[in-house]
Amino acid sequence: MSKAEIAANAHGPINCTQAILSTYAADYGLDKDKALQVAVAFGGVMGGLKATCGAVSGALMVLGLSSDFKEGDSREKINAVYKKVNDIVNDFIEKEGTIKCHELLGCDLGTAEGRKFYAENNYQEKCRNYVRLACELFEKHSF
Protein backbone atom coordinates (compact mmCIF):
# COMPACT_ATOMS: atom_id res chain seq x y z
CA MET A 1 0.00 0.00 0.00
CA SER A 2 1.35 3.46 -0.88
CA LYS A 3 2.11 6.07 1.76
CA ALA A 4 -0.68 8.19 0.26
CA GLU A 5 -3.17 5.37 0.92
CA ILE A 6 -1.82 4.74 4.41
CA ALA A 7 -2.21 8.42 5.29
CA ALA A 8 -5.68 8.63 3.71
CA ASN A 9 -6.81 5.59 5.70
CA ALA A 10 -5.39 7.05 8.92
CA HIS A 11 -7.56 10.17 8.62
CA GLY A 12 -10.63 10.10 10.82
CA PRO A 13 -9.54 9.41 14.33
CA ILE A 14 -6.63 11.79 13.63
CA ASN A 15 -6.64 15.01 11.61
CA CYS A 16 -5.32 15.50 8.06
CA THR A 17 -1.99 16.96 9.17
CA GLN A 18 -1.46 14.19 11.71
CA ALA A 19 -2.31 11.54 9.13
CA ILE A 20 0.39 12.76 6.76
CA LEU A 21 3.13 13.68 9.23
CA SER A 22 2.76 10.44 11.21
CA THR A 23 2.82 8.35 8.03
CA TYR A 24 6.19 9.77 6.93
CA ALA A 25 7.67 10.48 10.38
CA ALA A 26 9.82 7.35 10.73
CA ASP A 27 11.36 7.96 7.30
CA TYR A 28 12.95 11.11 8.72
CA GLY A 29 13.81 9.94 12.23
CA LEU A 30 10.74 11.44 13.90
CA ASP A 31 8.86 9.34 16.43
CA LYS A 32 5.23 8.75 15.40
CA ASP A 33 3.88 9.93 18.77
CA LYS A 34 5.88 13.17 18.50
CA ALA A 35 4.59 13.65 14.96
CA LEU A 36 1.02 13.30 16.24
CA GLN A 37 1.75 15.84 18.98
CA VAL A 38 3.32 18.36 16.60
CA ALA A 39 0.44 18.12 14.14
CA VAL A 40 -2.51 18.05 16.57
CA ALA A 41 -2.76 21.86 16.61
CA PHE A 42 -3.42 21.87 12.86
CA GLY A 43 -6.70 19.94 13.17
CA GLY A 44 -10.02 21.65 12.58
CA VAL A 45 -8.20 24.03 10.27
CA MET A 46 -5.82 25.27 12.93
CA GLY A 47 -8.50 25.37 15.57
CA GLY A 48 -11.19 26.80 13.33
CA LEU A 49 -9.22 29.75 11.94
CA LYS A 50 -10.29 29.08 8.34
CA ALA A 51 -6.67 28.56 7.41
CA THR A 52 -4.74 26.31 5.06
CA CYS A 53 -6.00 22.77 4.50
CA GLY A 54 -4.39 20.43 7.01
CA ALA A 55 -3.38 18.02 4.27
CA VAL A 56 -1.35 20.75 2.59
CA SER A 57 0.15 21.72 5.95
CA GLY A 58 1.12 18.10 6.57
CA ALA A 59 2.73 17.76 3.15
CA LEU A 60 4.75 20.92 3.78
CA MET A 61 5.88 19.65 7.19
CA VAL A 62 7.15 16.46 5.58
CA LEU A 63 8.77 18.50 2.82
CA GLY A 64 10.72 20.36 5.50
CA LEU A 65 11.86 17.05 6.97
CA SER A 66 12.94 15.85 3.53
CA SER A 67 15.00 19.00 2.94
CA ASP A 68 17.75 18.17 5.45
CA PHE A 69 17.88 21.91 6.26
CA LYS A 70 20.24 22.92 9.06
CA GLU A 71 20.81 26.19 10.88
CA GLY A 72 23.35 28.23 8.98
CA ASP A 73 22.48 26.80 5.56
CA SER A 74 22.69 29.17 2.63
CA ARG A 75 19.87 31.35 1.36
CA GLU A 76 19.99 29.25 -1.82
CA LYS A 77 19.08 26.12 0.16
CA ILE A 78 16.18 27.95 1.82
CA ASN A 79 15.01 29.22 -1.57
CA ALA A 80 15.10 25.66 -2.91
CA VAL A 81 12.70 24.64 -0.13
CA TYR A 82 10.44 27.62 -0.88
CA LYS A 83 10.40 26.70 -4.58
CA LYS A 84 9.15 23.22 -3.72
CA VAL A 85 6.55 24.71 -1.34
CA ASN A 86 5.26 26.78 -4.24
CA ASP A 87 5.26 23.75 -6.54
CA ILE A 88 3.17 21.69 -4.08
CA VAL A 89 0.75 24.52 -3.30
CA ASN A 90 0.32 25.55 -6.93
CA ASP A 91 -0.29 21.95 -8.03
CA PHE A 92 -2.87 21.53 -5.26
CA ILE A 93 -4.61 24.76 -6.27
CA GLU A 94 -4.54 23.70 -9.92
CA LYS A 95 -6.36 20.47 -9.03
CA GLU A 96 -8.70 21.73 -6.28
CA GLY A 97 -9.02 25.49 -6.83
CA THR A 98 -7.84 26.56 -3.36
CA ILE A 99 -5.85 25.49 -0.30
CA LYS A 100 -8.33 26.98 2.19
CA CYS A 101 -10.17 24.25 4.04
CA HIS A 102 -13.50 26.05 4.37
CA GLU A 103 -13.52 26.70 0.62
CA LEU A 104 -12.62 23.09 -0.18
CA LEU A 105 -15.37 21.72 2.07
CA GLY A 106 -17.97 24.45 1.70
CA CYS A 107 -18.34 24.67 5.47
CA ASP A 108 -16.56 26.15 8.47
CA LEU A 109 -15.21 23.43 10.76
CA GLY A 110 -14.72 26.08 13.43
CA THR A 111 -18.48 26.15 14.03
CA ALA A 112 -20.92 23.55 15.33
CA GLU A 113 -23.03 24.08 12.19
CA GLY A 114 -20.01 23.45 9.95
CA ARG A 115 -19.01 20.30 11.80
CA LYS A 116 -22.60 19.03 11.57
CA PHE A 117 -22.68 19.72 7.82
CA TYR A 118 -19.33 17.93 7.43
CA ALA A 119 -20.57 14.84 9.30
CA GLU A 120 -23.99 14.72 7.61
CA ASN A 121 -22.44 14.89 4.15
CA ASN A 122 -19.73 12.26 4.76
CA TYR A 123 -17.00 14.78 4.01
CA GLN A 124 -14.42 12.61 5.75
CA GLU A 125 -14.01 10.94 2.35
CA LYS A 126 -13.36 14.36 0.77
CA CYS A 127 -10.63 14.97 3.32
CA ARG A 128 -9.12 11.56 2.66
CA ASN A 129 -8.89 12.53 -1.02
CA TYR A 130 -7.11 15.78 -0.08
CA VAL A 131 -4.71 13.80 2.14
CA ARG A 132 -4.01 11.40 -0.72
CA LEU A 133 -3.40 14.27 -3.17
CA ALA A 134 -1.14 16.16 -0.76
CA CYS A 135 0.97 13.03 -0.24
CA GLU A 136 1.25 12.48 -3.97
CA LEU A 137 2.34 16.09 -4.47
CA PHE A 138 4.90 15.82 -1.66
CA GLU A 139 6.32 12.69 -3.28
CA LYS A 140 6.42 14.42 -6.66
CA HIS A 141 8.29 17.47 -5.29
CA SER A 142 10.30 16.11 -2.34
CA PHE A 143 14.04 16.35 -2.11
Work out the average pLDDT over 72-82.
96
Residue 43 inside a domain? The answer is yes
Residue 99 inside a domain? The answer is yes
Per-residue confidence at 50, pLDDT binned at 50, 70, 90? confident
Residue 143 inside a domain? The answer is no
* Domains contained in the chain, number: 1
Domain range for 63 is 3-138
Please provide the average confidence, as pLDDT, over all residues in the chain.
95
Q: How many CB atoms lie within 10 A of CB 78?
A: 12
For the full predicted model, state whether its pTM sits above 0.75.
yes
Q: How many CB atoms lie within 10 A of CB 74?
A: 8
Work out the average pLDDT over 89-94.
98
Residue 68 inside a domain? The answer is yes
Which of 142, 105, 97, 83 minimizes the C-alpha distance to 16? 105
Work out the average pLDDT over 27-48.
91
Which of 119, 94, 92 minimizes the C-alpha distance to 107? 119
Work out the average pLDDT over 59-84.
96
Residue 118 inside a domain? The answer is yes
